[in-house]
Each structure stands twice: as C-alpha cells, then as structure tokens.
Amino acid sequence: MKTPISSFYKAVLFAFFIITSHVLWAQPIPLNKYGLEIVDQIALYKQLIRKDSNQRLVDVTAYIPGILTDVRYATTNNFTKKQLYNYPAVYLRLPAAKALKAVQASLSQMGLGLKIFDGYRPYQVTEKMWETVQDDRYAADPKKGSGHNRGVAVDLTIIVLKTGLALDMPTDFDDFTAKAHFSYLPADSNILANRTLLRSMMEQHGFRALETEWWHYYLPDYKAYPLIDISFELLAISL
C-alpha cells in the first residue's frame, strides 16, 4: 500500500524532472548588437512552435487559396531599387493568417478580395531597407524591429475578383508621402471609400492600421511574437 510520503516524493521527483527537462531543452533566444532577441536558427524556431503552435509561420498562398500577391521586394520594382527576396513568398504567423482568411471571406461576398504585397520579412531585409529610408514613419528602425519581422504585419490592398484589378487607393504601395497617411483626404470620394473599406474590414478582424501607410496592418499583440531572421528558403524546407 502506498503511503502519503512516498506519493509526495514521487510528485516532487516528477515536478523536478519536468522543470529540469524544460530548462535543459529550452534554448535562449540570442541577442543582436542592439540587444534585441532574434530567432535566426530553424532549430530555435521549431522549438518555439512546439511550445506554441501560434508561433508557426504559414504560407499564406496555400492557406488562403486564390489570394493574389504582388511581392515587389522579390523584384527591383520597389523603393530600394534592389531585389531583397530571392523569390516571391508570403508568410504570416498562424493567428494573422487566420484573421486574413476571414477578411478574404468577408470581401468575397462583395465580389472583392485581397492582394498582398508583403508579409513576414527577415530582419536582415529591414536593415537593408533602413539604409535607403531612415524615416520610421515608412521604414522600421532596426534598433526596434518591425511587425513584419515578427510575422504579424501585412501590406495589402483590395482587388475585384472578376478582373483581378486593384481598387483605386490614395497612392501606390510604398509611396512615402503625406498622401499615404490616413489623415490625407482624397478629393475622389471613391478612393476615400476604398481606403475606408480596407481599414474597416481589417479592423473588424483584429488588425490595426499604421497611420502613415494605408496598406500596412498588424496584430496588436505583436510583442508576443519574437523577431525572426530566417530566409524564405529555410522556412519552405521546414514547413
């Protein structure tokens, strides 16, 4: 017959095993030159998603069939005039992808859909962007990192499903002028309505807008997701 003491010691030993296993298994996230935690190894990334499935980066084009993309950073057609990605890809953390899927479903009832310009962005790309535009209204300061580096920010617009054509917005993507701000009031009421529709749909599904870029939205709990500096190529292999 088991005594209360033996049961107590078994419980203590089990708790000790769980704690020590966690400590031995847990790998600290390394700090970069600015003191920021950066996940830059696939092994560490996989460790995070084993502990929390919401940390997973998913391929948005596979997760939301039919969604359009225009990943300009995989070309020279962007504000840096350099190709920043080796190939076009859009990844987002699972909660952001789920929310975006709901936005797409709501818009589809109106004959509309989404076109994505960018999602997850490796931290090293943010450093390259900052070399070109050192203005934190339009580019993330590497000393802080970006919601894109965390996989919970997305740049996008609305398209007409039948034609694939984008609705008119105040500016093109990555236009770093006051016309891209939400405080700017377009003379054309249709353009204002289009911008308002995008914001209202994104906010209804949990995103927040960046006031200086009509195309940029992010999840408010972005700090729950570490900054990442892993290439698309390595992510594709790990999926």
pLDDT 10s digits, 31-56: 999 999 999 999 999 999 999 999 99
Give the model's pLDDT for residue 18. Answer: 40
Predicted pLDDT of residue 236: 94
Give CA–CA dist 87/190, Å, rounded.
34
Give Cα separations from 239 to 46, 91, 227, 234 (angstroms).
Answer: 10, 11, 18, 9
Q: Which helix (H) or strand (E) holds 193?
A: helix 189-204
Partners of 233 in the β-ladder? none
Residue with tokens 């965390």: 150
d(CA 115, CA 117): 7
The per-residue pLDDT for 238 is 84
205 annotated to a ligand binding site: no
39-238: CATH class? alpha beta
Task: Find the distance separating the first CA and the last CA of the chain, reported in whole Å.
Answer: 50
Please report, as a single letter, which amino acid is at residue 95: P
Helix-then-strand count for the chain, H and E: 8, 9
Say if residue 239's pLDDT is above 90: no
pLDDT at 151 exceeding the cut of 80: yes
pLDDT band for 6, please (50, 70, 90 cuts).
low
What span, in angstroms and rounded, lies between the C-alpha atoms of 85 and 24? 36
Please tell me whether 216 is known to bind a ligand.
Answer: yes
Specify whether 213 is catalytic. yes
Amino acid found at 168: D
Catalytic residue among 127, 131, 213, 233: 213
User: Taking each helix axis from N to C terminus, what angle separates 94-108 and 189-204, rounded to the nearest 10 degrees?
Assistant: 130
Rounded mean pLDDT, 96-118? 98
Where b means 16+ CB within 10 Å and e means fewer, 171-187 reads bebbbeeeebbeeeebe
Inform me whether the pLDDT recorded for 17 exceeds 80.
Answer: no
Q: Which residue has the tokens 């960046």?
A: 210
Residue 232: closest CA among 137, 124, 136: 124
Nearby residues of 233 by Cβ (< 8 Å), 6 or more positions away: 86
Q: Which of 136, 155, 18 is nearest to 90 (CA)?
A: 155
Instruction: Supply the pLDDT for residue 168.
Output: 98
Which is more confidently placed, 12 or 65? 65
Q: Is 181 annotated as a binding residue?
A: no
Say what percent of the chain tops pLDDT 90: 86
153's enclosing H/E stretch is strand 153-160
